[in-house]
Copies of this chain bind each other. A is one copy, B any other.
Amino acid sequence: MAFRHPDRDQIRIEDVLSALGNAVRLAAVRILDAGGEHNCTSVLNTLGITAKSTMTHHWRVLRDSGVIWQRPSGRENLLVLRREDLDARYPGLLDAILSGARTDAALDRGDRTGSAA
């Protein structure tokens, strides 16, 4: 099961933005960003939702847009953020998005600090 990933210079910001402009995928990327190795079900369980096939769909969108690497390992499927590539092509973009997502999450939780640290 070899997945097709775009090369670094085939990545398009329009695709990245629309990939991340979805609550489930943005949450998934936040989990990947937190570090550690993740397989599909681990993220799926953390999100607490969705059928496996739904998640497969979201992984494909993230993979096709160049946001993640998806690498088969044994019977699992390891997921990693393509941070180096994204940072190289769009400096500051990923950090801005991720800390923005934290800001939103804090607001939605009712925090009044305005901080996203």
Contact = CB atoms under 8 A, between A and B. Distances in A.
Interface of A: 9, 12-23, 26, 89-93, 95-97, 99-101, 103-104, 107
* Copies of this protein, total: 2
Contact of A103 (B23, B89, B96, B100): B89
Contact of A18 (B22, B89, B91, B101): B22
Contacts of A16: 21
A21 B18 CA distance: 4
B23 A101 contact: no
A93 B103 CA distance: 13
Contact of A9 (B20, B90, B107): B107
Contacts of A104: 12-14
